[in-house]
Amino acid sequence: MSEAPQINSQSASPYSSNDAEVRAELSEIDASIRTSALFFTVSAIFWLLAGTVFALITAYKAHEPSFMGDSALSTFGRMRSAHLNAMALGWGNNIIFAVGLWIMARLCRSPIRHGGLLLIAGIFWNIGLTVGIVGIIMGDITSVEWLEIPHYATPLLALSYALIGVWGVMAFKFRKGEHVYVSQWYILAGLFWFPWLYIVAQIMIIWFPARGVVQSVTNWWFAHNVLGLWLTPMALATAYYLIPKVLGRPIYSYYLSVLGFWALAIFYNWAGVHHLIGGPIPVWLISAGIVASIMMVIPVIVVGLNHHMSVVGLHKEVWRSPTLRFVVFGAISYTLVSLIGSSMAVRSVNEITHFTHFTVGHAHHGVYAFFSMIMFGGVYYMMPRLLKREWPSAGLIKLHFWGSAIGISVMLFALHVIGWIQGVQMNDATIPFLEIVQNTIPWLKARTISGVFLTVAHIAFAVNFFWMLFAAGAVRAKQGPTLLDSAKEEGVA
Amino acid sequence: MDAESYTDLLPLILLGVVFFVSAIAMLYWSSKRGQFRNFDSQASTIFTDEEPEGEISDSFPSK
């Protein structure tokens, strides 16, 4: 039996002041960031759908190369890069700007200032990204993985991001109260890390290119850290906020959460060079990257233990919450993908997994099963509070969850299995390369099928979202527990 | 790669060092500002009168 949490009217929060002059109500903060958060969420969903189309084309072409083969616009290289950038910078960044900044504003306990700046920056971010992805499809793609966007679009992206980053720092500066909750640490650090990574990589690879080998080191330092020091901290910030918030129970060990954050901050930056194991760079540099990758086990175990202990005894409540279904799926995935990632940095394992579909599966494990699932959960929690309306369809939420969960599980199984087989066979000189390629085809077809599941899930998510956004009259009439108390009192529940 | 060419990596290494030092500086700042004290009460700061501790605040909608 699950243990119901005890209501504690004497909250330990120093911000729950009875003085209305001092206290900033959450609903007031939500209202102040509503326009920006909605803009970013709509943009994120658009990019999610566009990225899904690019992904389906790419996946299908991997086993049917002649598909759309007459058009230069839809070659594998362009579609694959359009997919990556639409998902990472379109879906990923926009949903971070929506959910992450909303959480930041709530934790700063102050209605946001300069919301117009955030909105303008967001508009320019999406214009820059559109120009960049159209440029990729038109053939202006660079040859650098994760930095494929052509040089004429990147200054606009960098400027837009700078405005958003400055806004985040300003929100932190004008916060009420001295305490910094662990989610704020993660978000603030991510806002600092991402421009650092992006600008350094742009300078050293695109604008003033260093020597080739240094470019490679920079490239993987950047690409790996986009996941570890941008997407990961934002997803963990969301999980650390939503798990205790939904369950009404503080995180199991705040001490462990702080330890996990600082271990990530200190170790992760060094880990990216493990992508170049066997490459022509100094051995000590790779060894440092391997050591840092193994040291990452510490924050991963700490975070996993903390999340697990926080939900112990409340598993039924987790299942009943649309938010926590997604968030807990993502949190479990974080533990798994991180431990697999650390093991992939070991030289003997890397000899097999390098240059195979195993790495592709690993990337999707991190960006989708971990990051995206947590962010879906964030949207399910945020939207009713921003709009003071209920989600219109529980069925569509369930379709979204099961489509995503089954789709990504099938994809991860297929790519990890065939990746390992592919790696073992490529290390055997007696097996012809073409035979190895042909062996992958059934597994690549499985990946395409998994993409169909994910497509259905994303369409269900988008339909539910826009239904909620525009069909206000019908949705408002419902009663439901995801609504805020104040909304119920106003009779709009 | 020639041994002399390793100096090409110097900017990258220096960036890593700056990054590391900035993380340590933030760690020091947070320690001085008392962020590592009273962990139990700090974990409860996310709860407010509107969304109090002890109350489950999310479940599936009615349909």
Distance (Å, whole) CA B31 – CA B18? 20
Using DSSP, state whether A347 is helix, strand or coil: helix
Lowest mean pLDDT among A2-6, A407-411, A462-466: A2-6
How far is CA A63 from its chain centroid?
Answer: 28
Report which of residues A15 and A444 the model is more confident about: A444
Contact A272, A220 (CB under 8 A): yes
Which span out of A143-147, A451-455, B23-27 was modeled with the highest average pLDDT?
Answer: A451-455
Hunting for tokens 């002890």 — which residue is that?
Answer: B54
Alpha-carbon span A400 to A121, nearest angstrom: 30
Here the tokens at position A103 are 């959480």
Least confident of A71-75, A280-284, A333-337, A409-413: A280-284
N-terminal to C-terminal alpha carbon distance within chain B: 65
Q: What is the dihedral of CA A22, B26, A294, A360, to 10 degrees?
A: 60
| CB contact (8 A) between residue B48 and residue A253 | no
Contacts A316 to B, Cβ<8 Å: none
The CATH architecture assigned to A238-483 reads Up-down Bundle (1.20)
Query: What is the predicted pLDDT for the residue at A474?
Result: 59
On whether any CB of chain A is under 8 Å from the CB of B17, the answer is no
User: Is A320 in Cβ contact with B50 (below 8 Å)?
Assistant: no
Q: Where are the domains of chain A?
A: 25-179, 238-483
Tens digit of each residue's pLDDT (9 = 90 or more) over B46-55? 888 888 888 8
Please report which confidence band the pLDDT of residue A333 belongs to, taking 50, 70 and 90 as the band edges. Answer: very high
CA distance B4 to chain A (A): 12
Q: Quote the DSSP letter at residue A90.
A: I
Copy the structure tokens of residue A493: 């529940």
pLDDT tens column, A25-36:
788 899 889 999
CB contact under 8 A, B49 and A11: yes
Closest Cβ–Cβ partner in B16, B27, B59 for A320: B59
Give me the pLDDT at residue B40, please.
76
How big is chain A, counted in residues?
Answer: 493
Report the mean per-residue pLDDT for chain A. 89
| B10 to chain A, closest Cα gap in Å | 10
Q: What is the radius of gyration, based on Cα positions, of chain B?
A: 23
User: Tell me: the pLDDT tens digits for A260-314?
Assistant: 998 998 888 889 999 999 988 889 999 999 999 999 999 999 999 999 999 999 9
d(CA B54, CA A103): 20
Task: Tell me A482's DSSP state.
Answer: T
Nearest CA in chain A to B1: A280
Rounded to the nearest angstrom, the minimum Cα separation between B33 and chain A is 8
- Chain A residue nearest residue B53, CA to CA: A248
CB A327 within 8 A of CB A243: yes
Does the CB of B37 have a partner CB in chain A at under 8 Å?
no
| Residue A410, both tokens | 């099938």
Q: Is there a contact between B48 and A6 (Cβ–Cβ < 8 Å)?
A: no
H-helix or E-strand containing A293? helix A283-295
- Name the helix (H) or strand (E) containing A340: helix A322-344
Q: Flag whether pLDDT at A485 surpasses 80.
A: no
- B-chain CB neighbours of A484 within 8 Å are 50-51
* Residue A409: other Cβ atoms inside 10 A: 15
Statement: the pTM of the whole predicted model exceeds 0.80: yes
Q: Which of A267, A281, A181 is nearest to A224 (CA)?
A: A267
Handedness of CA A158, A163, A168, A170 (dihedral sign): positive
Lookup: tokens for A319:
């299942």
DSSP string computed for A104-143: HHHHHTS--S-HHHHHHHHHHHHHHHHHHHHHHHHT---S
For residue A11, pLDDT beyond 80:
no
Helical axes A433-470 vs A357-364, angle rounded to 10° = 20
Closest residue to A13, CB basis, from B19, B27, B47: B47
Nearest CA in chain A to B35: A179
B9: amino acid identity, one letter: L
A283 in contact with B, Cβ within 8 Å: no
**What residues have CB less than 8 Å from B58, skipping those under 6 apart?**
A246, A321, A322, A323, A324, A380, A381, A481, A482
Q: How far apart are CA A144 and CA A152, in angstroms?
A: 15
Is some CB atom of chain B closer than 8 A to the CB atom of A178?
yes
CATH tag, A25-179: 1.20.120
Write down the pLDDT at residue A475: 61
- Give residue A8's pLDDT: 38
- Beta carbons of A317 and B53 less than 8 Å apart: no
Helix (H) or strand (E) holding A378: helix A373-387
Q: Which residue among A15, A189, A322 sits closest to B45, beta carbon to beta carbon?
A: A15
List the single residue in A250, A320, A392 with the smallest CB-CB distance to B44: A250
- Structure-token pair, residue A299: 């924050």
Does residue A21 register a pLDDT over 50? no
Give the whole-angstrom CA distance, residue A442 versus residue A453: 17
Check CB contact of B29 with chain A, cutoff 8 Å.
Answer: no
- The CA distance from A199 to A222, in Å, is 10
Average of per-residue pLDDT across A350-354: 95
